[in-house]
């Protein structure tokens, strides 16, 4: 029986998560490309995009990533204006807390990350300064820049629910929360209205030549798609798509977990910003529990010093009750084709860790409220934890991915940048550093080797 003729499109995007949708959106909005197919075996925004922490910030310890996320924040603001307000963009900031009196290394990273924008940094040494306390406010009303709080009285007055041993806080002001699902849906509606197609199916093969022919397995049989250009936005399956083109994509997948639950005890103030405890710590256990955990290879790490980065924030509307906690301490790569490696110990672990900064959370250890949600997703990451956005080796193929733990905040800039690469339009100055070309830049790779690779 002869094969059905291939469905022609200009651009085939493999992956209908927030990144693939953002690429499609900016192809439509900025470049007038309307013949687009988003191909995914799942519903749009239903896999890793559905597990988002729903946060954004514009600071990283390198000016390239700061410029990238600052750009993305501007695009989020534009989307919020166009919605209008649909993506629920607030700006309480990111509060990075430490017990180190003078965190000189962290402050140097702050200045290095902001580069030419370092004038935004304000050092607060006095309790009687003009520091504006955090408030979960619309982004238009929030201050910009970064406040570095080095006065314990000021910290305690600003964050009375925290443990009193916090000595320094870096409050990144151009940061906050959004609704990642509404962000994706708002962009997807524009793509569909302009003629973009959603194809529910799995790409089984790709033939490259004068364009690409994709064999897609759908619930109704095999379907062929003929595309002039192709974008690999497959999230945890970037390597699979790369292999179909004969390319090895240098990424791994690490499963990270979160919990959310109604804060019936009001342990976390509703106006608190997204807060991260930067310090390493050792969890408090009874002697009996410690012996049990230490006796099992799978849980022994919980009795040893653990890296910092525990985060907590109010979830949902200011008048709500839910809170969200996460701790990306897992470093073991896992196969995203297998079952999700959910750790039943995680809720207890993250609550014990978070209660060091937020003492009232200790009341929930072993007593999570009914309806608590324990979930996780794969962080797809390069070794240096920078994204890959731009041309692949195969002519006409492009990649947009490896956004480990920061896909929501970077989706808009990723989409705009990839769309510019696809259409041959100018890209920002930082763009080349986010392509495969960086691996040929010995100086840049040496810089990245000296930076932390964690995700906040």
pLDDT of residue 158: 97
- The H-or-E segment that residue 80 falls in is helix 63-82
CATH of the domain at 317: 3.30.9.10
Q: How confident is the model at residue 1 (pLDDT cuts 50, 70, 90)?
A: very low
Looking at 214-297, list the stretches that DSSP marks H as alpha helix, in order from N- to C-terminal side: 238-244, 287-294
pLDDT of residue 119: 77
Range name among 2-6, 128-132, 154-158 with the lowest pLDDT average: 2-6
What would the pLDDT profile of 311-342 be if each residue is shown by its tens digit? Answer: 999 998 888 999 999 999 999 999 999 999 99
Quote the tokens at residue 110: 């702050």
Strand order in the sheet with 274-277: 121-124, 146-149, 168-172, 94-98, 274-277, 310-314, 322-326, 252-262, 373-381
pLDDT of residue 298: 85
244/387 same-domain check:
yes
CA torsion sign for 386, 387, 390, 393 is: positive
What would the pLDDT profile of 244-301 be if each residue is shown by its tens digit? Answer: 999 999 999 999 999 999 999 999 999 999 999 999 999 988 899 899 999 998 889 9
CB atoms within 10 A of CB 173: 23
Looking at 194-308, list the stretches that DSSP marks H as alpha helix, in order from N- to C-terminal side: 238-244, 287-294
What would the pLDDT profile of 73-123 be if each residue is shown by its tens digit? Answer: 999 999 999 988 899 999 999 999 999 998 999 999 899 888 877 778 999
Peptide bond before residue 438 is cis, with ω within 30 degrees of 0: no
Q: Which of 398, 368, 404, 382 shows the shortest CA–CA distance to 448?
A: 382
| pTM for this predicted structure | 0.95
391/374 same-domain check:
no
Q: In a 10 Å sphere around its CB, with 0-12 CB exposed, 13-18 middle and 19+ buried, how is residue 128 labelled?
A: exposed
pLDDT at 200 over 80: yes
258/352 same-domain check:
yes
Q: In the listed set 349, 381, 413, which residue is the last one of a domain according to the structure?
A: 381
pLDDT of residue 136: 79
Looking at 260-367, list the stretches that DSSP marks H as alpha helix, in order from N- to C-terminal side: 287-294, 346-354
Q: How confident is the model at residue 2 (pLDDT cuts 50, 70, 90)?
A: very low
415/292 same-domain check:
no
What would the pLDDT profile of 361-392 be if each residue is shown by its tens digit? Answer: 999 999 999 999 999 999 999 999 999 999 99
337/263 same-domain check:
yes
Task: Answer yes or no: are the C-beta atoms of 200 and 41 closer than 8 Å.
Answer: yes
Q: What is the dihedral of CA 398, 221, 40, 436, to 10 degrees?
A: -20
Q: In the listed set 381, 398, 429, which residue is the last one of a domain according to the structure?
A: 381
pLDDT at 439 over 90: yes
- 185 lies in which domain range? 7-54+180-250+383-449
Pairing relation of β-strands 202-209 and 197-200? unpaired
pLDDT of residue 453: 57
285/422 same-domain check:
no
Average pLDDT over the chain, rounded to an integer: 94
The predicted model gives 220-231 an average pLDDT of 96
257/374 same-domain check:
yes
Question: What interhelical angle do 180-193 and 407-423 show, nearest 10?
Answer: 30
CATH of the domain at 238: 3.50.50.60
The number of folded domains in the chain is 2
Task: Answer yes or no: are the C-beta atoms of 173 and 273 closer than 8 Å.
Answer: no
425/392 same-domain check:
yes
pLDDT at 243 over 80: yes
pLDDT of residue 452: 63
Task: Answer yes or no: are the C-beta atoms of 190 and 174 closer than 8 Å.
Answer: no
149/290 same-domain check:
yes
- Please give the Cα distance from 308 to 329 (Å, whole number): 8
Answer yes or no: is 83 within a domain. Answer: no
How much of the chain, in percent, has pLDDT values that exceed 90?
84
Q: In the listed set 381, 415, 434, which residue is the last one of a domain according to the structure?
A: 381
352/413 same-domain check:
no
38/110 same-domain check:
no
CB atoms within 10 A of CB 454: 15
Answer yes or no: is 138 within a domain. Answer: yes
269/158 same-domain check:
yes
Phi, psi of 194 (to 5 degrees): -95, 10
């Amino acid at each position: 029986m002869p094969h059905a003729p291939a469905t022609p499109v200009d651009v085939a995007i493999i992956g209908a998560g927030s990144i693939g949708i953002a690429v499609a959106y900016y192809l439509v909005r900025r470049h007038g490309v309307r013949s687009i197919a988003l191909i995914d075996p799942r519903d749009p925004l239903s896999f890793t995009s559905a597990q988002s922490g729903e946060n954004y910030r514009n600071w990283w310890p390198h000016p390239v990533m700061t410029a990238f996320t600052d750009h993305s924040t501007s695009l989020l603001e534009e989307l919020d204006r166009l919605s209008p307000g649909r993506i629920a963009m607030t700006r309480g900031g990111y509060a990075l807390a430490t017990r180190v009196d003078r965190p000189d290394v962290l402050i140097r990273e702050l200045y290095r990350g902001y580069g030419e924008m370092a004038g935004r940094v304000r050092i607060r040494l006095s309790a009687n300064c003009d520091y504006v306390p955090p408030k979960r406010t619309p982004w238009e009303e929030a201050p910009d820049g970064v406040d570095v709080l080095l006065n314990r009285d000021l910290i305690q007055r600003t964050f009375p629910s925290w443990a009193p041993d916090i000595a320094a806080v870096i409050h990144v002001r151009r940061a906050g929360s959004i609704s990642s699902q509404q962000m994706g849906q708002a962009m997807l509606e524009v793509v569909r209205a302009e003629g973009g197609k959603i194809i529910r199916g799995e790409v089984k093969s790709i033939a490259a030549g004068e364009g690409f022919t994709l064999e897609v397995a759908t619930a109704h049989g095999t379907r062929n798609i003929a595309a002039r250009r192709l974008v690999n936005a497959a999230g945890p399956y970037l390597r699979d798509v790369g292999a179909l083109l004969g390319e090895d994509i240098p990424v791994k997948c690490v499963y990270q977990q979160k919990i959310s639950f109604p804060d019936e005890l009001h342990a976390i103030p509703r106006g608190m910003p997204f807060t991260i405890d930067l310090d390493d710590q050792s969890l408090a256990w009874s002697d009996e529990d410690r012996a049990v955990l230490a006796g099992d290879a799978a849980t022994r790490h919980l009795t040893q010093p653990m890296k910092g980065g525990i985060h907590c924030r109010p979830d949902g509307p200011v008048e709500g009750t839910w809170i969200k906690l996460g701790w990306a301490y897992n470093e073991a790569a896992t196969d995203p084709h297998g079952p999700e490696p959910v750790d039943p110990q995680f809720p207890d672990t993250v609550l014990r860790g978070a209660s060091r900064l937020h003492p009232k959370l200790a009341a929930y250890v072993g007593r999570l409220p009914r309806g608590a949600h324990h979930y996780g997703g794969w962080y797809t990451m390069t070794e240096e934890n920078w994204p890959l956005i731009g041309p692949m080796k195969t002519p006409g193929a492009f990649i947009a991915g490896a956004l480990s733990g920061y896909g929501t905040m970077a989706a808009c800039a990723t989409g705009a940048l990839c769309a510019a690469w696809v259409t041959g339009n100018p890209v920002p100055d930082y763009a080349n550093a986010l392509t495969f070309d960086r691996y040929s830049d010995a100086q840049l790779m040496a810089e990245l080797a000296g930076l932390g690779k964690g995700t906040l």
